[in-house]
Amino acid sequence: MNSASISSIEFRTFSNLPSRRTAYLAHRRVAETLHQSASSLQERVGSSSSKAGRKSFIRYTVSASYGDKESGSVNSNEFTSPAKALRKLLESPGVHQGPACFDALSAKLVERAGFDFCFTTGFGISAARLGLPDAGLISYGEMVAQGLEITQAVSIPVIGDGDNGYGNAMNVKRTVKGYIRAGFGGIILEDQVSPKACGHTRGRKVVSREEAIMRIKAAVDARKESGSDIVIVARTDARQAVSFEEAIWRARALADAGADVLFIDALASKEEMKAFCDVYPLIPKLANMLEGGGKTPIFTPIELEELGYKLVAYPLSLIGVSIGAMQDALSAIKGSRIPSPGSMPSFEELKEILGFNTYYEEEKRYATTSSQLPSRKGDFSSNSNEYGVQPGIQADRVQRTQIPENPVEVLIPEVYDRFSGEGKKGNFSMAWSRKLRVKITGKDGFEKLDIRIPQWLL
């Protein structure tokens, strides 16, 4: 076992980053430390590996002291994928709330608020990215691209809205694999026809039972082929499209096909919600608390846990309050006012939320002086010959030779015909092609301006 430590200052810098980045940077720092003793490691590891004829691996742990406390160890082989983190959450006691985000910033705010996971919302992404209703207009490519930006911005697992898989079973496989590559911990797949529509709105239609089942089987196969453990959430809209009884039948069938979590959208009463949770009680159920007046009654997390739910989605809160806040701000600006201080974070708070302070700390690691110009009164550093510059040359002598006597230079107008290259072609051609060239050189010897002004602009 080889070990290395990092200082409390370094750990403090790491702790400001999302947890996945913390582990990554800690591993990198340890790798740099171990690299300093590479020769001895090669003697101990390399010789044995050559005799055995196989690769040798080094396992190490990272520990760091922060104040008077010691951080938990990070094992190099114990990176937790988003899917594993989500599965661990599903196995933990209690009900878990997940607000729905629609871009990287809203996802960061969810994480900063202390939530353990979040959803993406097709309704919100279609609104924020396209300014269009969630009526099947947004494409797979747009959803997976937005999802990649979201998952990269946070360290908590994200359940992606996969709509109806964007086609048949083969399209579902492509969708699942794409969401896995984008870093999602889970994916919601529904049984609506194409074009699909937002839940709780009119005109819900679903595919046949057989096709709904095949979509989930295709998703399971895609997961196996990718070597992933992404959580598959099976959603049925049959409650609105057909009947409550049909929705219950489909929930059972989708669980048998391999779904990890079940979701019936737009259940209309507490009794229906309880009956749904009684279907395969050991399989987690998702409740959709559509804010603002959906088909499903709104309950508290404790009440939902008593009914048998494990996950709770809040799909419209963030996009809804964002729209309301922007409308209020625009009304204030149109009325010759600015939004009140209490209605928005201060500039310092905004910078903190967006990570400016963390950025500045990390930027210090890469600060250099080689890109700065030397002082006029000093010499080039004796080490500058590493880049081909001769040491001992006076900087001011070099710059003085470059300063012209007259820093402003007006050159003779250039006349040319750029289309034919034959010079003058009449008055119009002359007016079009004649230019006045002006060059301005500063006192430091560097050119500040070099422009050519067409005559027709003078």
Structure tokens belonging to residue 117: 């996971």
pLDDT confidence of residue 200? 65
d(CA 416, CA 435): 9
Closest CA to 194 of 225, 150, 164: 164
Tell me the three state secondary structure of residue 344: coil
Degrees to nearest 5, angle at CA 181 with 176 and 185? 70
Q: Which residue has the higher pLDDT, 203 or 376?
A: 203
> What is the tens place of the pLDDT at every residue in 101-126?
999 999 999 999 999 999 999 999 99
Query: Could you tell me which residues are beta bridge partners of residue 187?
Result: 160, 232
Residue 158, Cβ neighbours under 10 Å: how many?
A: 27
Report the phi/psi class of residue 228: left, alpha or beta, with left for phi > 0 and alpha for psi in -120 to 50: beta
Number of H helices, E strands in the chain: 19, 15
Ranges of each domain in the chain:
2-75, 82-315, 325-363, 391-457
Q: What is the rounded distance in angstroms from the CA atom of residue 341 to the CA atom of residue 349?
A: 12
C-alpha atoms less than 13 angstroms from C-alpha of 404 in its C-beta half-sphere: 11
| Better-scored residue on pLDDT, 455 or 149 | 149
Report the 10 Å Cβ neighbour count for 54: 9
pLDDT of 183 over the 60 cut? yes
The better pLDDT of the pair 23, 106 is held by 106
What's the chain's average pLDDT?
Answer: 78
Q: What is the dihedral of CA 306, 312, 317, 318, to 10 degrees?
A: 150
Q: What are the CA-CA distances from residue 241 to residues 191, 192, 270, 386 (Å)?
A: 10, 9, 19, 74
Tally of residues, the chain: 458
Residue 354 Rama label (left phi>0; alpha psi -120 to 50; beta): alpha
Which is higher by pLDDT, 349 or 393?
349
Residues near 310 by beta carbon (within 8 Å), at least 6 away in sequence: 90, 95, 96, 261, 284, 285, 286
Question: How many percent of the chain have pLDDT more than 90?
Answer: 58
CA angle, 104 as apex, 98 and 109 as ends, to 5°?
Answer: 55
Pinpoint the alpha helices (H) of 154-299: 169-181, 209-226, 238-241, 244-256, 270-277
d(CA 87, CA 220): 15
Q: What is the pLDDT of residue 436?
A: 74
pLDDT of 271-322, one tens digit each? 999 999 999 999 999 999 999 878 999 999 999 999 999 999 999 999 999 9
Superfamily of domain 82-315: Phosphoenolpyruvate-binding domains (3.20.20.60)
**Res. 37: pLDDT tops 50:** no
Q: What are phi and psi of 442, to 5 degrees?
A: -75, 170
Tokens 């949770």, located at residue:
277
Overall pTM surpassing 0.85 (yes/no):
no
Say whether pLDDT at 422 is over 70: no
| pLDDT at residue 412 in the model | 53
* Residue range 201-249, pLDDT digits in tens: 666 899 999 999 999 999 999 999 999 999 999 999 999 999 999 999 9
How far is Cα 187 from Cα 164, in angstroms, rounded to an integer?
11
| Residue 367 token pair | 């600060």
> Above pLDDT 70, what percent of the chain?
66
